[in-house]
Amino acid sequence: ASLTTTLGDYAFQNVFMNASGVHCQTEAELDQLAASPAGTLVTKTGTLEARAGNPEPRFAQLALGTINSMGLPNLGIDYYIAYAERFQEKHPGRPIFLSVAGMKPDDFPLLAQKIQDSGFTGLTEFNLSCPNVPGKPQIAYDFDTTEAILAAIFKVFKKPAGVKLPPYFDLAQFDQVAAILNRYPLTLINSINSLGNGLWIDPATDTTAIKPKGGFGGIGGQYAKPIALANVRAFRQRLRGDISIIGTGGVTTGRDAYELILCGANLVSLGSILATEGLGAFTRLSSELESEMAKKGYTSLAEFRGQLKTL
Ligand code: RRO
């Protein structure tokens, strides 16, 4: 079976990639992703200025996933643009993703302008869903601000762009968000970011797992999978056909990836499982996804993408 895929006008040799935040902060980590079986990669979300992030411990492995409150530690947008420009010289025909976020709405058009003015030829993911900056709500839960940011971005940005979305939990939210997104020339969405502001307690000590924000943090891994499936499915049913979807959330097995593709995902990204298992996760999941396809009689992803059956 072939795991090749397309997203907009771009083609990828493998459907898997990292989720932003995992194994992508430094050049060394990004180069390791590039040398792995992953079909593409995305940088850690970059901000206008480099950031140290929240105090540690700020990441923990849980029974069925992870909790994090990293707080956007990153080396700054200029670092990631420079990396991407070098990458595309070395690897022509292998498009990658920049992830960026503003610390305030006005930062987004500035980030967009920097990327627009650069030599970057790949795709840009504007992260509207970081749950972990103390005092800053997740942008994409505020629909007016989301629309204002999209309007400001697309005044200056002419390259392929997408948005990283948080999980939504009500069908009315899917309707409202999709209506906004459909008004802009987006190439993709990435759904979902971590489940914001979960809490985990150590039963031995009655203490939180992480330090920032009194222990509240974004939940990923198996806890997130049904929410991710629902979000990818709901957006695939509502978005323009020319908006592709990166499916993210709780993929731990090849079967999980298969299900996200059934819901409509063009690429599948690995967060918690990549953090806990390492780069070997790409090899294992590729092989498991191929087995699942063989079992169902499919030889390409296009044959079952979006083909979820309902009762
Ligand atoms: O850095 C983080 O705390 C973080 C970000 Br920007 C994000 O988008 N999602 C997440 O779970 N953590």
Q: Which residues of 207-244 are buried (b: 16+ CB within 10 A; e: fewer)?
A: ebbbebbebbbbbbbbbbbebbbbbbbbbbebbeeebb
CA distance 231 to 251: 14
Nearest CA owner, ligand 1 atom 7: 130
Atom of ligand 1 nearest to the CA of 74: 1
C-alpha 44 to ligand 1 mean position (Å): 9
What local confidence, expressed as pLDDT, does residue 235 receive?
99
Query: How many residues in total does the chain contain?
Result: 311
C-alpha 69 to ligand 1 mean position (Å): 7
Residue-wise pLDDT for 1-32, tens only, equals 999 999 999 999 999 999 999 999 999 999 99
**What pTM did the predictor assign?**
0.99
Nearest to 131 by CA among 120, 123, 139: 139
Q: Are 228 and 247 in contact (CB under 8 A)?
A: yes
Rounded percentage of the chain residues whose pLDDT exceeds 70: 100
Residue-wise pLDDT for 88-140, tens only, equals 999 999 999 999 999 999 999 999 999 999 999 999 999 999 989 888 889 99
Let me know if residue 17 belongs to a domain: yes
Let me know if residue 63 belongs to a domain: no
Atom of ligand 1 nearest to the CA of 164: 8
Let me know if residue 308 belongs to a domain: no
Q: How many CB atoms lie within 10 A of CB 184?
A: 16
Local structure of residue 105 (DSSP, 8 states): T
Let me know if residue 215 belongs to a domain: no
Quick one: which H or E segment has residue 17? strand 16-18
CATH number, position 128? 3.20.20.70
**Any residues with Cβ below 6 Å from ligand 1, and which?**
21, 45, 68-72, 127, 129-132, 193-194, 218
Atom of ligand 1 nearest to the CA of 69: 3
Residue among 23, 59, 68 to mutate when testing ligand 1 (max atoms within 8 A of CB): 68
What local confidence, expressed as pLDDT, does residue 136 receive?
87
Domain count, the chain: 1
Domain that residue 279 falls in: 5-54+72-194+221-303
Active site residues: 129-130
Let me know if residue 161 belongs to a domain: yes
How is 224-253 classified by DSSP, letter by letter? GHHHHHHHHHHHHHHS-TT-EEEEES---S
Q: Are 28 and 180 in contact (CB under 8 A)?
A: no
Residue-wise pLDDT for 192-242, tens only, equals 999 999 999 999 999 999 999 999 999 999 999 999 999 999 999 999 999
CA distance 235 to 190: 10
Local structure of residue 55 (DSSP, 8 states): P
Let me know if residue 293 belongs to a domain: yes
Let me know if residue 311 belongs to a domain: no
ipTM of the complex: 0.99
C-alpha 263 to ligand 1 mean position (Å): 24
C-alpha 301 to ligand 1 mean position (Å): 29
Residue among 194, 213, 223, 246 to mutate when testing ligand 1 (max atoms within 8 A of CB): 194
pLDDT at 77 over 90: yes
Q: Are 255 and 3 in contact (CB under 8 A)?
A: no
Let me know if residue 213 belongs to a domain: no
